[in-house]
Structure 1
Amino acid sequence: MSSAIIESKAQLVTYMEQGSKPDRSSWRIGSEHEKFVFHRDTKAPLEWEGQNGLPGIKDVLQAFVDNGWEAVEEGGKLIAAKKNGASVTLEPGGQFELSGAPLENIHQTCDETSSHLRCTREIGERLNIGFLGLGFHPTLKREDVPVMPKARYDIMRSYMPKKGSLGLDMMLRTCTVQVNLDFADEADMVEKFRISLALQPLATALFANSPLTEGRPNGFKSYRSHIWTDTDPDRCGTLPFVFESGMGFERWVDHVLDVPMYFVRRDGKYIDASGQSFRAFMKGELPALPGELPTMADWEDHMTTLFPEVRLKTFLEMRGADGGPWNRLCALPALWVGLLYDTEAQDAAADLVKRWSADDVAKMRDDVPRRGLETQDPKGGCFRDLGEEVLKIADLGLRKRARLSSSGDTEQGFLNSLWESIETGMTPADQILHKYHGTWGGVDPIFDQLSY
């Protein structure tokens, strides 16, 4: 499929339709999370190459390979590793990302995450490095972040400043946690898309974990979320058209076609096509490859360069949460699976947001990076009240799924950290600020206190 030449838009619509899974038993859960890597003694980030006897990022990847993962290279450099459907990859500033395998329940996704973090802890002990779970790096200046040797990131770093002032910070100084979910058909995709876009600001508030910049409070609960508001308006945001009549696979394809490209790959090399049109590509008029027509692999690559709050591929990606502590990495899939993988819960979530307009969602999206759980919903209530209502729906969905662990536990317990935030009004960001002004007396303890 990936090598097939694209000759019409209808092929792209068909490609998207093929993500539909009418059999609910085939639905899977894919979780992802990123983390910063630092030298324990100095708190400095790791360079690509180790220096002065200290390990580099490539040594960390090699440690995964030594532990049985398969090496992935680009231009002769080790850039990733994969095992059992999961992969460890590098973000532009050396952030480590685990992209999990598609699994059947939250117990499995949390076991996968826990196994991975045990592995990183063992590697950390051996190399004297740490892995930090935050949404934004708490101390580094942009110019102090080492850049990883991946060609696509060179193209993006050159193009980003042309579209917004914070795109380089997004690339180099942020971390996130995501979950990827399936849909039954086009109508189910549209409803899930609308629910998840509408409630993404609440997820941002619950997982807010980036209140520090360069060692000081930055005035935000989720500075990572704020950064996306000034990264690239062509490819980010809350997608108002999703709430309009006529939304479906074809409408999404039209949107993706209208987003400017970053690159194309040929013979393992990245060719700069930044700002160029995929529609022109389909006519054989791409300046970077005149006369050539795109393949499905080019389409798949192009879709990875869109960064909205929720992204559609052949599944839906929830993209609104900051990276964070171990228990929150399991809580994010629990939240969205609870809302979207049970019919009664999905109906309740759809009913909750059905009267919200695209402007309502945009207003919450604008307010939440600073206000967190104090953000107002469209009815004038605060996010703590909305969060309680949403968590009750998610809890219902997980209870009705009745997916039990080997010890007989349901998936509902994975919501506990979110319930705690609703009950106390304290998100991870609030807890950091409380300690920063209190027992920590500054930022330095964060590396010891919040590393995995």
Structure 2
Amino acid sequence: MARDSDDTTPLTTRAELIEWFAAGEKPRERFAIGTEHEKIPFYAADRRPVPYAGEAGIGALLEGLGRETGWEPITDRGAVIGLAASEGGAISIEPGGQFELSGAALPDVHATAAELATHLDAVKRVADPMGIKFLTLGMSPKWRRDETPVMPKSRYKIMAGYMPKVGSLGLDMMLRTATVQVNLDFRSEDDMARKMRASLALQPVATALFANSPFTDGRPNGFLSRRSEIWRDTDGDRTGMLPFAFESGFGYEAYADWLLDMPMYFVKRGDTYHDVSGASFRDLMEGRLPQLPGERATMSDWVNHASTAFPEVRLKRFLEMRGADVGDPDMIAAQAAFWVGLLYDEGALDAALDLVKGWTASQREAARATAPRLGLATPIAKRTLGEVAAEALAIARSGLKARARRDANGHDETGYLQPLEMIVAAGRTRGQDWLDAYESRWESSVDPAFSECVF
């Protein structure tokens, strides 16, 4: 998550909220790809989590990476909490120290893979002398929640106080999970709605394909993607499959109204985060917020509020795919290729919508609820997600072929789908492979993950 907005433009009408989404529209030739991935740090010597403070802490790692890259520091009450690049992109830390790259807007998956490789090389040069490595798993496999360090970000303190009021697993989400997402553009309100529906319906497929978080507290947790399951009991007001997106007439207005109904976390004024958790954005617009009487909404309040919604697909001035566990670099690139192939070619998007058109809201929700446990074996409309995934990958491959974006060696983007095609062919996710290792050569210990599941 990059730095919070500081745009002080006053907001006075509901129409301005809707127009903010519309301002994200781009012509097709300007469509870009943004990837974000989180990775959980640990000390290689003893497999302990990495705290913020100290000569080999997260703060020192950020400062060292800033010197390495020349990126500018992002601070919160004097603490370095991230880095920002002048050409786009940022590095930030999640509540439990998860190290996140928010990539720049790039033209193709080749550039995305190259950006990731450059980032990992820079991090390695700084982290290795500090004894720090990073897991390629979607959840920390060993440490309890109370053993996980907490980062010094003001908004996280507010969220941590609110989460237990609205769900039982929100703190686990904040402190112990790691995801990868791809951010994609739209050219019109109708294009946004079509992409939203296709990607929401197929998000359980992504959850199954990328399932990679089968361990918690040093043992199997009963899921292939515990990270995904955790989101189901985090905060029902701001998560989920957005059934209203499938209703006739869905567009920016319906999404804005959903956000207006979603309780707030904070209001940021200058460098201060005011805890208004549970309050109404409508009250802020009207100057009736009980915690800040007379204070009225600004554009930054709306942007920040939108960033605290966590549905399976999130709308900002682009669409964010949010259903996948993080994995190794090949899986991170594969996630970008999967969604680009499905959504950026018109014929592929038509085929993706046709693939899911008969699914009911209850079927979509049932798949979302079951995929974290059963993965590709999850039933959906008399089929399995594995069968759907095979078709979706074929559609994505056709979409990438039609894009015909080639690297310096003449290769198109379809090669990045190979890890997913291998998973579907085998009928086995990475999470299942790690569970098998745990039962066999790992000898019922998760400690080998700290050498095998590492960037």
For 2:22, the equivalent position in structure 1 comes to 17
- What are structure 1's unaligned runs of at least 5 residues? none
**For 1:37-76, what aligned pairs fall within 5 Å after superposition?**
37-50=41-54, 55-67=56-68, 68-76=70-78
CA displacement at 1:2 relative to structure 2 = 2.8
CA displacement at 1:66 relative to structure 2 = 1.3
2:184 aligned with 1:181: yes
Q: Residue 392 of structure 1: which of 391, 394, 419 is its match?
A: 394
2:20 aligned with 1:6: no
Q: 1:2 and 1:350 mapped to 2: Cα distance?
A: 37
2:445 aligned with 1:450: no
Q: 1:390 and 1:77 mapped to 2: Cα distance?
A: 44
Q: 1:78 and 1:9 mapped to 2: Cα distance?
A: 35
Q: Report if aligned partners of 1:364, 1:376 keep a CA contact under 8 Å in 2.
A: yes
Q: Report if aligned partners of 1:160, 1:231 keep a CA contact under 8 Å in 2.
A: yes
For 2:3, the equivalent position in structure 1 comes to none
CA displacement at 1:82 relative to structure 2 = 1.8
Structure 2 SS opposite 1:280: helix
**For 1:311-326, what aligned pairs fall within 5 Å after superposition?**
311-326=314-329
**For 1:377-388, what aligned pairs fall within 5 Å after superposition?**
377-378=380-381, 380-388=382-390
Letter in 1 for 2:66: V
2:112 aligned with 1:85: no
Q: 1:37 and 1:59 mapped to 2: Cα distance?
A: 13
Q: Report if aligned partners of 1:28, 1:102 keep a CA contact under 8 Å in 2.
A: yes
CA displacement at 1:3 relative to structure 2 = 2.2
Structure 1 segments, 4+ long, off by >4 Å, are: none
**For 1:17-416, what aligned pairs fall within 5 Å after superposition?**
17-21=22-26, 23-50=27-54, 55-67=56-68, 68-83=70-85, 84-378=87-381, 380-416=382-418
CA displacement at 1:413 relative to structure 2 = 0.3
For 2:428, the equivalent position in structure 1 comes to 426
Q: Which moved more, 1:192-201 or 1:2-11?
A: 2-11
Letter in 2 for 1:25: E
Q: Report if aligned partners of 1:120, 1:131 keep a CA contact under 8 Å in 2.
A: no
CA displacement at 1:355 relative to structure 2 = 1.6
Q: TM-score, normalised by structure 2?
A: 0.97
CA displacement at 1:309 relative to structure 2 = 0.4
Q: 2:145 and 2:23 mapped to 1: Cα distance?
A: 41
CA displacement at 1:246 relative to structure 2 = 2.1
Q: 1:125 and 1:150 mapped to 2: Cα distance?
A: 25
After superposition, the C-alpha distances for 1:152-190 in whole angstroms (9 at most, x for unaligned) are 000000000000000000000000000000011011110
CA displacement at 1:144 relative to structure 2 = 0.4
CA displacement at 1:124 relative to structure 2 = 2.6
Compute the RMSD of aligned alpha carbons: 1.0
Q: 1:134 and 1:450 mapped to 2: Cα distance?
A: 7
CA displacement at 1:287 relative to structure 2 = 1.4
Q: 2:357 and 2:427 mapped to 1: Cα distance?
A: 26
CA displacement at 1:41 relative to structure 2 = 0.5
Letter in 2 for 1:38: F
CA displacement at 1:288 relative to structure 2 = 2.1
After superposition, the C-alpha distances for 1:362-400 in whole angstroms (9 at most, x for unaligned) are 01001101000110122x111221111000000000000
Q: 1:96 and 1:288 mapped to 2: Cα distance?
A: 33
Q: Report if aligned partners of 1:33, 1:98 keep a CA contact under 8 Å in 2.
A: yes
Letter in 2 for 1:219: G
- What are structure 2's unaligned runs of at least 5 residues? 1-5
Structure 2 SS opposite 1:41: coil
Letter in 2 for 1:97: E
Q: TM-score, normalised by structure 1?
A: 0.98
CA displacement at 1:37 relative to structure 2 = 0.5
Q: 1:295 and 1:406 mapped to 2: Cα distance?
A: 45
CA displacement at 1:74 relative to structure 2 = 1.3
Structure 2 SS opposite 1:385: helix
Q: Provide the aligned length of Structure 1 versus Structure 2.
A: 447
Letter in 2 for 1:396: S
CA displacement at 1:254 relative to structure 2 = 0.4
After superposition, the C-alpha distances for 1:281-306 in whole angstroms (9 at most, x for unaligned) are 11110112211210011000000111
Q: 1:422 and 1:416 mapped to 2: Cα distance?
A: 10
Q: 1:270 and 1:222 mapped to 2: Cα distance?
A: 33
Q: 2:19 and 2:56 mapped to 1: Cα distance?
A: 47
Letter in 2 for 1:20: E
